[in-house]
Amino acid sequence: MPKETAPINVVVLGIMQDAGLPHAGCRCPRCAAAFADPRQAEYAACLAVVDGRRQPPTVWLIDATPDIKYQLNLLAEALGPHPNRPDRLRQPDGLFLTHAHMGHTAGLPHLGPEVMEARDLPVYAPAGLVEALRQTRLWQPVVGNLRLIVLEPGRPLLLAPDLAITPIALPHRDEIGAGTFAYHLQGPTRSLLYLPDIDGWPQWPAARQTLAAADVALVDGCFYSRDELGGRTPVAHPLVPDTLAFCAGLPGRLLLTHFNHTNPVLDPDSPARQAVLAAGAEVAYTGQSFSL
Residue 55 counted as domain residue: yes
Mean pLDDT score across all residues of the chain: 94
Residue 67 counted as domain residue: yes
Q: What is the pLDDT of residues 243-262, one digit of tens each?
A: 999 999 999 999 999 999 99
Residue 32 counted as domain residue: yes
Residue 101, pLDDT > 80, answer yes
Question: What is the C-alpha separation between 111 and 141, in angstroms, rounded?
Answer: 10
- 3-state SS, residue 210: helix
Read off the pLDDT of each residue in 217-221 and give the average, rounded to a whole number: 97
Residue 111 counted as domain residue: yes
Residue 236, pLDDT > 90, answer no
Q: Is the peptide bond before 251 cis (omega within 30 degrees of 0)?
A: no
State how many domains the chain has. 1
Number of Cβ within a 10 Å radius of residue 84: 7
Q: What is the pLDDT of residues 186-203, one digit of tens each?
A: 999 999 999 999 999 999
* Sequence-ordered strand ranges (E) for the chain: 8-14, 46-51, 58-62, 94-96, 121-125, 146-150, 157-160, 163-169, 181-186, 191-195, 216-220, 253-257, 282-283, 289-291
Residue 125 counted as domain residue: yes
Can you give the pLDDT at residue 5? 54
Any idea what DSSP says for residue 41? -
By the 10 Å C-beta count (0-12 exposed, 13-18 middle, 19+ buried), 279 is classed as middle
Q: Give φ, ψ of 21 to 5 degrees.
A: -135, 120
* Contact present, 111 and 75 (Cβ < 8 Å): no
Confidence of residue 164 (pLDDT cuts 50, 70, 90): very high
Residue 280, pLDDT > 50, answer yes
Can you give the pLDDT at residue 3? 46
Confidence of residue 115 (pLDDT cuts 50, 70, 90): very high
* Contact present, 9 and 50 (Cβ < 8 Å): yes
Question: What is the C-alpha separation between 29 and 99, in angstroms, rounded?
Answer: 30
**Which has more confidence, 174 or 290?**
290
Read off the pLDDT of each residue in 141-163 and give the average, rounded to a whole number: 95
Number of Cβ within a 10 Å radius of residue 219: 27
Residue 46 counted as domain residue: yes
- Closest by CA position to 57, among listed 12, 7, 10: 7
Confidence of residue 180 (pLDDT cuts 50, 70, 90): very high
Question: Residue 89 maps to which CATH number?
Answer: 3.60.15.10
Q: What is the pLDDT of residues 31-83, one digit of tens each?
A: 999 999 999 999 999 999 999 999 999 999 999 999 999 999 999 999 999 88
User: What is the secondary structure of 80-112 as a DSSP string?
Assistant: -B-SS-TTSBPPPSEEE---SSHHHHTTGGGGS
Residue 2, pLDDT > 60, answer no
Read off the pLDDT of each residue in 110-124 and give the average, rounded to a whole number: 92
Confidence of residue 233 (pLDDT cuts 50, 70, 90): confident
Overall pTM surpassing 0.85 (yes/no): yes
Can you give the pLDDT at residue 86? 84
Residue 1 counted as domain residue: no
Task: Report the percentage of the chain scoring pLDDT > 90.
Answer: 84
Residue 3 counted as domain residue: no
Domain that holds residue 214: 8-291
